[in-house]
Every structure is written in C-alpha cells, then in structure tokens.
Amino acid sequence: MEALYEMGEYKKVLSFLEMLERSRRSQRHYHIALQACKNLNDLELGVQLMRDMEKDGVIVSEKEYEVVLDICTVMKMSMIQPLIQEMERKGIPKSLDVYDKMVRACTLDYDWEAALELLQDMGDNNVDIDDKLAQKLIFIFGACGKLE
C-alpha cells in the first residue's frame, strides 16, 4: 500500500484496502487510505473510511481526523465543524495542527470572527500558537481590516 501511495497511485491504494479482509485492516492501512483520499480531494470517502475504522474496531485517532480535516480546508469551515464536534464528543483533544487547519479554512472564507473564536479557544485549552499559525491569523485580521 505504501509503495502505491508513494508512486501517486491513490485510486489503487483505495482498491488495495477494499480487497484486504476487514479483519486484517490496521490503523496504518486506513491512515494511508485516508492520505489517498486527501490527495484525491474525496471528503465523502474519507469520512466513510473513518466510519469503517470504527466498525472494524480500529481506533480513529487525532491523526486520522487531521487528514480528513485537510480535505475540508479546501472547502468551507462549515465542512469542518461536524468533524470537530465529533472529536470533542469522543474526547479527542484539538492539537495545534487541528487549530491550524481550522484557521486555514477561516482564512479562505475571510472569516475573522471565527478565527478570533479559535484564538480564544486555543487560549482556553492551553494550546500555544506557532509562527505559521500566527502568520495566518495576522493575514486574516489584516485582510479584514481588524488590525489596529
């Protein structure tokens, strides 16, 4: 599977997973398949694979959510919210990477208010901002005329 992924054969990665007996699928198999979905921009299949993981008793971790959230960030923040709420219901903490993907979606939407809420949420959850995220926040606040 990894070799197929490295060669850019994303549809073949998904076909390989489909051929693999469900009882033999590991978190690594699913993660590679989710990466393939990301490269194919297939959000629907990515979410379905996460559901399949749960059905198969494979743990869906923060890393799998991050991959699927990456697919969402080429779309709208409204696509991300249900996944974030699901993470929260399951007790999966939001990492800096998750916040980064959410802020990226805010940047694409020019939604400075949502970005401000995320900044406050990061503070409430003791998540430190790195330079990359700070630049995105400065961009969105500046582009929306909110920097003084």
Torsion of the alpha carbons at 127, 50, 80 and 129, rounded to the nearest 10: 20
Q: Is 58 helix (H, G, I), strand (E, B) or coil?
A: coil
Does pTM top 0.75 for this prediction? no
113-122: pLDDT as tens digits: 989 999 999 9
User: Do residues 2 and 26 lie in contact, with contact meaning Cβ atoms separated by under 8 Å?
Assistant: no
Least confident piece of the model among 2-11, 50-59, 62-71: 62-71
Sequence length of the chain is 148
Residue 74 pLDDT greater than 70, yes or no: no
CA distance 142 to 7: 40
